[in-house]
Structure 1
Amino acid sequence: MSTAVIRRQNGVSLFRPGAIDNYFQSHRSFEYTPSSESSVLRTFKRLAISQGWGEDRKQKEKAKFQTAVDKEFTARVGGGFALEDWQRLAKVIGITPLPGSVTQCRKAIKKENINIYHVLHAYRRAREAERIEDVEVCKDIRRFKNVAELRKYTQNHSMFYRKEFAKGSVLKGLLKKFH
């Protein structure tokens, strides 16, 4: 499994438990150990089953979970104000040449058809790099040819992220309309 190289010191793991891990650990009867390798969506499904949630409770908890995803995504990827955050994301998802402004980065990223959860997992597994030039493309982020292909994949894998939970502007920049 390849990992992205993201920031600061070469080779140092970036993983530290975040908002998603805190959400899972808030369910005291749920056995969970924070890990950069575990799928947060699979873990949520496992949590719902272990707690015996009905559909109503599952939807309420999914809203809390997606709020935690937004918080962690913003903490790991950035809030969307710094050029370095946008360039790092552009580099991780494989955009070349690297755009020179926030606006150019935002436009280039918006054109990409990638699943938000793939980006989040890349950042959870990342290793640090001091310079933007040392950031590597994450091979685990699947790039889809078009929105229809992304939609089909997202539906088949239940990897939806609802717009109303996206507060961070970088996360909003990745969202696509599926209707």
Structure 2
Amino acid sequence: MAETADFFSRFPGFTPNPSASIIDEFERLARHRGWSHNSRRRKHHSEWIDFAEAEFDRCFGAETKLESYQNLCQILIPDEPAPPSITQCRKALKRVYVNLIDLIDAVRMGTEVPRFRNIKALRANIKETERVFPRMAAKKGVLKELLREIW
């Protein structure tokens, strides 16, 4: 997966803002490129997936797979020490409900990650805000541990 800087290097004249929301940043890129609103959702959907993957890697990539899992656990479960194994990290992450866009935005902006008490509350948030992380990007790496059945 590409780093965010590599992703944006394909778009001359566009200067990324690493502390902006990823949705706002992608919308700004779409306006810069002249992509119509309908085009952004269909034709340039692969660009959104590439950007989301690159940004997730930038925020949560680590030297080893275990470090990536532990990093995610420390961000999402700050009151507990990071589990010592990938299996234990996976178990811990199964009880966490977050909007993946909110998660990345919190890391980008240095804010707390909004957490939901259950899947019902998470579904309601995603349906209300329409802030949906691309499923194809979410199926890769440690992020897949946070995928929940929404629709």
TM-score where L is the length of structure 1: 0.67
The 1:59–1:153 alpha-carbon spacing in structure 2 relative to 1, beyond 3 Å, is same
Q: CA deviation at 1:57?
A: 4.9
1:36–1:121: 8 Å Cα contact kept in structure 2? Answer: no
Superposed, 1:17-96 pairs within 5 Å as: 19-24=3-8, 26-28=10-12, 32-50=14-32, 51-78=34-61, 82-96=65-79
Equivalent AA in structure 1 for residue 21 of structure 2 = S
2:4–2:58: 8 Å Cα contact kept in structure 1? Answer: no
Equivalent AA in structure 1 for residue 127 of structure 2 = Q
Farther off after superposition, 45-54 or 110-119 = 45-54
Which residue in the other structure is 2:106 paired with?
122
% of aligned pairs identical?
28
Of the candidates 90, 94, 97, which is equivalent to residue 80 of structure 2? 97
Return the alpha-carbon distance in structure 2 between the equivalents of residues 115 and 88 of structure 1. 17
Which residue in the other structure is 1:141 paired with?
113
Q: CA deviation at 1:162?
A: 2.9
What's the Cα RMSD here? 2.8
2:130 paired with 1:158 = yes
1:83–1:102: 8 Å Cα contact kept in structure 2? Answer: yes
Q: CA deviation at 1:173?
A: 1.1
Which residue in the other structure is 1:110 paired with?
94
Return the alpha-carbon distance in structure 2 between the equivalents of residues 169 and 124 of structure 1. 19
1:113–1:147: 8 Å Cα contact kept in structure 2? Answer: yes
**Equivalent residue of 1:26, what SS?**
coil
Equivalent AA in structure 2 for residue 155 of structure 1 = K
Higher helix share: 2
**Equivalent residue of 1:105, what SS?**
helix
The 1:167–1:150 alpha-carbon spacing in structure 2 relative to 1, beyond 3 Å, is closer
Return the alpha-carbon distance in structure 2 between the equivalents of residues 54 and 78 of structure 1. 31
TM-score where L is the length of structure 2: 0.77
Return the alpha-carbon distance in structure 2 between the equivalents of residues 81 and 53 of structure 1. 40
Return the alpha-carbon distance in structure 2 between the equivalents of residues 39 and 75 of structure 1. 14
Equivalent AA in structure 2 for residue 112 of structure 1 = V
Structure with the bigger RCO (C-alpha within 8 Å, sep 6+) is: 1
**Equivalent residue of 1:35, what SS?**
coil
State how many pairs are aligned. 148
Q: CA deviation at 1:97?
A: 2.6
Q: Note the alpha carbon deviations across 1:26-50, whole angstroms, 9 max, x for none.
A: 334xx64323321110122233345
Q: CA deviation at 1:119?
A: 2.2
